[in-house]
Structure 1
């Protein structure tokens, strides 16, 4: 599932390509036909992300998209290709230089037109997004510190913290030497302040790079240049491989429906 930095980049790209001009919106698959008709031909004000949600505002109506596990946008310039397959939504516009732009959406968990109160209701149930200016880190801490639930599960709860997924969960906990099984109430204010600041830095880097890189240069096989895929993470998808710090085999098990990765020595119970 795309994490918050991917949605942030998508919102920025779609705003640059489509905002301020009429957008032709269709649903070749047919499952979004009524919603597409509501906004077709209207001027897009802009697109913003919050956590793993996208909100494209057309006046008083907003197209809300949640990609889920399988959703994806593709796009390009010029004339769009023939519509094939499960194409939920297509946008076509003149583009900033008049050459034409298009984007296609396939496989989302949600694609719907909402009113402003409906958008506000979604935002109200989400935790703070580390990529949003003036996000309230303390609001997440209050939920975490009051819970007996494992911190590895709490970090994936979008009502606690918006935009964090499986990669950031595993890597953030490793970087701070925290067992994913530690109860939330064992995370104090000082520790959470360090974790939050680190998470903001990592997610902003994800926006800039277009990928998640969590390793420090000194912990990579190549200390200079762009990190390779093999060097990008400490524990994520490294089951059975030696920990980059202590050499212990990285472990995995399921937690809240996703594979959890951790080092039992660097992240002691």
Structure 2
């Protein structure tokens, strides 16, 4: 009889110790997470469901959000691209409608709809301690994968059907990383399997170096390469030729 009672007592003590020592932090974290998700669900129902559906399933007005992940929500909402005021070709960057806590709650809720990329930590998107060779490699990666749309200087550029690649000047490291990770709008997704986290850091470091370099003078023409350069070539070059043609014609007429 003593052994069963001793066993019951031991189990009771172990259960009590476990309840006191272990689950408190876990339970608190779970409760906080649940509250955040619930807050995000309410915000979503008011501000997002009219386009994306009450359960994020999508509609004729907006795509499904199932599986896009928290990173996509953080990028779109914290840059003011969402919520979109009215349908248009491309969501522009505007004034942010939510504070940081509300954005985190929306992202946490959408993450529960289906697995997707999480919001990156500062250690992931902030390049530090990279060598000149690694920064140069970031430039190669950028020119290979990004410059066709964003231009070699990251100044942005026009795309078909009224769309455009936005300028990357002044864009935060976090948002550049999230954009590569999630592929907003017409941008392709550069997953960690295609462009590794280290590759992404090197690209960000290259952009930092590019945009922090001093202006040594000269006319940059917007930094958008052959578009503005070609325009000025036509205006100045063709203009000079026309002027010469008029001058020659006028001089020839006087000679007669």
So what's the TM-score if we normalise by structure 2?
0.27
TM-score under structure 1 length normalisation = 0.26
**Bigger radius of gyration among the two:** 2
Pick the structure with more strand per residue. 1
